[in-house]
Structure 1
Amino acid sequence: MKYCAFLRGVNVKGTNMKMAEVCQVFKEAGMNEVSSVLASGNIVFSSDQKPDDLKNIFEGAMSRHFSYDVFLFVKSQDEIQKCLGHNPFVKNEELHSYIFVGNQGIAETLMQEFERVSKSEKEAAKIVNHTFYWQVPKGNTLDSAFGKILGRKNLKDQFTSRNVNTFEKILKKF
């Protein structure tokens, strides 16, 4: 089966990883057809193992190799297609749209946090099929009240997000 591993916090805030090196760790862990998509920690690969087992294998192997706690989330090609297909937001050149992947129940937690903060005029969030989607004006992602919540340490092992464009590139890579 084909999968993508979404690494959390890669190549931001001093956490620098070369994708070729990350791919090598995946190959050494027994994965096939390993390649990266962009430098933001998206590793496409194939395996016969279950996603939960893969998550544990990769987090351990990556943490040992890079000497820090690595968090990642594994989705199948089919799950990625469904996430992209269920995106509730219409493409708008003035807005960024994000899809969140993470632990069970994180979509509801993120929605509760989103509802508690102030928002810009065009900022919106929705949950579709247990997936959290967020749309924010370009240039406001990190400065928005919700964007600041996303960086909290207590959430770092719970989810990661990618722009819709990244999901499209991942699907093309499959």
Structure 2
Amino acid sequence: MKYCAFLRGVNVKGTNMKMADVCQVFKEAGMLDVGSVLASGNIVFSSDKKAEDLKEILEKAMSNHFSYEAFLFIKSQEETEIFWNSIPFEKNDDLHIYGFVGNPGVESVLMGAFEAASKTENEKADIVNDLFYWQVPKGNTLDSSFGKVLGKKSLKDQFTSRNINTFEKILKKMN
């Protein structure tokens, strides 16, 4: 089965790694057809194992190789297609749209945080098929009230986010 591993916290805040090295760790952990998409920690691969087993195997391999506490989220090609096909917002050159990959139930936590946050014009969030999506004006991602919530250490093992354009690139690599 084809999967994508979405790594959290890669190539930000001092956790730097080359994607070629990450791919090698995946290969050494027994993954097949390994390739990366962008430098933000998106690894496409094949395996006959279940996603929950892969998460454990790959987090351990990454943690050991790179000497950091690895967090990653494994989604099948079918699940990644659902992310892409469920986007609730219209594309707009002035806005970023993010999809959040994470543990079951994290979408409710994120929506609660979003509802409590102050918002800029055109900033929206929605949950579709248990997936959380956030729209924010370009240039406001890190400065927005909700954007600051996303960096909380208490949430680091719960989710990671990607611009929806990344999902499109991942799906092209999977096909």
What TM-score results when the alignment is normalised by the length of structure 1?
0.99
How do 1:1-174 and structure 2 match up within 5 A? Answer: 1-174=1-174
Cα deviation 1:96-135 (Å, max 9, x = unaligned): 0000000010000000000001000100000001100000
- RMSD of aligned residue pairs (Cα, Å): 0.4
- Aligned-partner Cα distance in 1 for 2:139–2:51: 34
How many angstroms does 1:172 deviate by?
Answer: 0.4
How many angstroms does 1:62 deviate by?
Answer: 0.3
Q: Give the 3-state SS of the residue equivalent to 1:170 in structure 2.
A: helix
Q: Aligned letter for 1:163?
A: N
Cα deviation 1:38-97 (Å, max 9, x = unaligned): 000000000000000000000000000011100000000010001110100100000000
- Aligned-partner Cα distance in 2 for 1:121–1:139: 12
In structure 2, stretches of 5+ residues that fail to align are none
Q: Give the 3-state SS of the residue equivalent to 2:126 in structure 1.
A: strand
- Aligned-partner Cα distance in 2 for 1:15–1:139: 23
- Aligned-partner Cα distance in 1 for 2:86–2:68: 34
- Aligned-partner Cα distance in 2 for 1:63–1:13: 16
Q: Aligned letter for 1:101?
A: V
In structure 1, stretches of 5+ residues that fail to align are none
Q: Give the 3-state SS of the residue equivalent to 2:80 in structure 1.
A: helix
Q: Aligned letter for 2:29?
A: A
Q: Aligned letter for 1:100?
A: F
